[in-house]
Amino acid sequence: MTNDDLRREVNDWLAAHWSGAGSIAQGMWDTNAEMRAWYTKVFEARWSVPSWPVEWFGRNLSDEQTSIVIDAFARVGAPGTGQDRFNLPANTLLALASDALKDALIPGLLKREITTCLLYSEPSAGSDLAGVRTRAERDGDRFIVNGQKVWTSGAATADYGMLIARTDWEVPKHSGLSFFFLPMKQAGVEVRPLRQITDEAHFNEVFFTNAIVPAANLVGGLNQGWRVLQTALAYERSTMGANARKSRHGSADDIIALARAAGRLDDPLLRQDIARVIALRRLNALNNARAKADLEQGTSSSIMSLGKLAMSRILHEEARVRTAIIGAESLLAGETHPTADDVNFLALNAYFTSIGGGTDQIQKNIISERVLGLPKEPELDRNVPFKQVRSG
């Protein structure tokens, strides 16, 4: 199929199926059923993951042709495509899961019928994810899970948790991990919300007490979880910056509009700061495009860490500049002062990006070791059987 043929096909399909009217065009669905109905249409037409193989719900398009499809959907404000670039659980499954598990979960993920959360960090294993102590013990055709996770977004409503757990204590820490899709809605899973500095409860603690995960939900093979985790983390880091919230109230106003409204756009120092923020955002977008082009199914991309670190810097810098723009107004808060409330929310919420998905310090280690080729940071417990590693 030529590029022109593809453009005609996708544009004709959108013209026939996407109304582009009302709240749906803005992504504000009246009901979850309405949203799922649209995503199902996209899935059935094989627009959800256009670059994936035909046997796995795609069209086997090139990167260039995939971009044509994404651009066509974007022009009319229609969601649902491009999930081959950002749907973390679906991409992880395609890369490393069994065919049976792909068949069982991927369609529901692409149609928004199945939701997931990430069960990675623990109270004593945040930056060092290889040190997790949540255990999964084999019991016939299932595993029994006991332990605790923390900083889990969406745990209260998720259908499945992407779980990294220890399945072998006799080998070094990176070698004894396995990766599962654990059913969340069961008696052995307890979710407790964590209150944040923004007065939200976006994160949760999750406790497992004899929770059950079928052996069929193991991804990548027994004790191969570290490899699976690296693939999943690469997708997570590639999407965190793009989805970072800039406003409590959902305002789409850009930083130039904010300066103009405050009468500060002629301030030469602020103009320099604004230009720096815009330049950083543009550079990061180009870097992310490069990283995604290099990311092949079944592999991880260390360059993703550069983009994730850059977005953390951008959000903190933009919060500083926005605060400088509104000046003393930033001392106000609450819904009666929406501009100040948005600026303060950005300043507080920026810390989420510099912690979640791997701290800035961890990203710097990854960049130094895997991108720049510098010597690795010493790890005294790296080659020690995990049962001999001290805890706490």
Annotated active-site positions, please? 236
Tell me how crowded residue 307 is: count the other CB atoms within 10 A of its CB.
27
Residues linked to residue 146 through DSSP beta bridges, in sequence order: 135
Residue in 177, 183, 180 with CA at minimum distance from that of residue 131: 177
Query: What is the SS3 assignment for 350?
Result: helix
Pairing status of strand 142-149 against strand 135-139: antiparallel
- Residue 385 has phi, psi (to 5 degrees) of -50, 135
Q: What are the angstrom distances between the C-alpha of 226 and each of 68, 96, 278, 292, 296?
A: 35, 12, 36, 21, 17
Rg, C-alpha atoms of the chain: 22
Quick one: DSSP state of residue 122?
Answer: B
Residue in 67, 53, 33 with CA at minimum distance from that of residue 102: 53
Element (H, E) at 156: none
Tell me how crowded residue 305 is: count the other CB atoms within 10 A of its CB.
27
- Cβ proximity of 151 and 176 under 8 Å: no
- Cβ proximity of 367 and 302 under 8 Å: yes
Q: Which residues contact 74 (CB under 8 A, 6 or more apart)?
A: none
| 298 burial level (CB within 10 Å; 0-12, 13-18, 19+) | middle
d(CA 274, CA 255): 7
